[in-house]
Amino acid sequence: MKQFWRRWTYEVPLAIGDALWEVLVVELAALLDRLTVRKVIAFIPVVILVLAYYHSIPIPPELMLIGDFLAYIDIFSVLFLLGVLSRIATVMFVVKQATARIAMLAGGIVAHVQRVGVRRRRQHGAPTRPRRKPAHSEDDRAFGGPWGQVALA
């Protein structure tokens, strides 16, 4: 009888207390660790519906629409992200095209500059090449026209 009494007055309440501690403290702490803002927002429409059916106080339709919006916030966020990503893809395409055109233009300018020889210009103070001296002096030159040699004679 002493064993029976010890079991029902000592061990069973301790087992119940341990089970309650496990459920109410340990499991609740684990649940709160896994809780995210998204899960809280998804639970708000459930609370609104429970309040609407549990109480006899009518809830305005605007509050119900907010609940629906919060319930479908995942769909709205996906649609919003798709819209933003499509705009980003368009902007990236335009930037890529502009970069290609700028690179092509820069390549054409570099080729033109190398052809013209702008990079190998003479220095400002460099002496110029001496001019060629004529083969004969001014006295030996003909005085224009086919009769120039005859005129000298």
Q: Of 32, 109, 43, 35, whose CA–CA distance to 71 is shortest?
A: 43
Phi, psi of 134 (to 5 degrees): -65, 155
**pTM > 0.85:** no
For 92-136, write each residue's pLDDT tens digit: 888 999 999 999 999 888 887 777 655 555 566 656 666 666 665
Choose the most confident range, by mean pLDDT, from 36-50, 85-99, 126-140: 85-99
Three-point CA angle 75, 78, 81, nearest 5°: 150
**Measured between alpha carbons, how far is 117 from 96 in angstroms, rounded to an integer?**
32
Contacts of 49 (CB under 8 A, 6+ apart): 67
Q: What is the pLDDT of residue 105?
A: 92
Mean pLDDT, residues 85-91 taken together: 84
Place of tokens 């003479």: 122
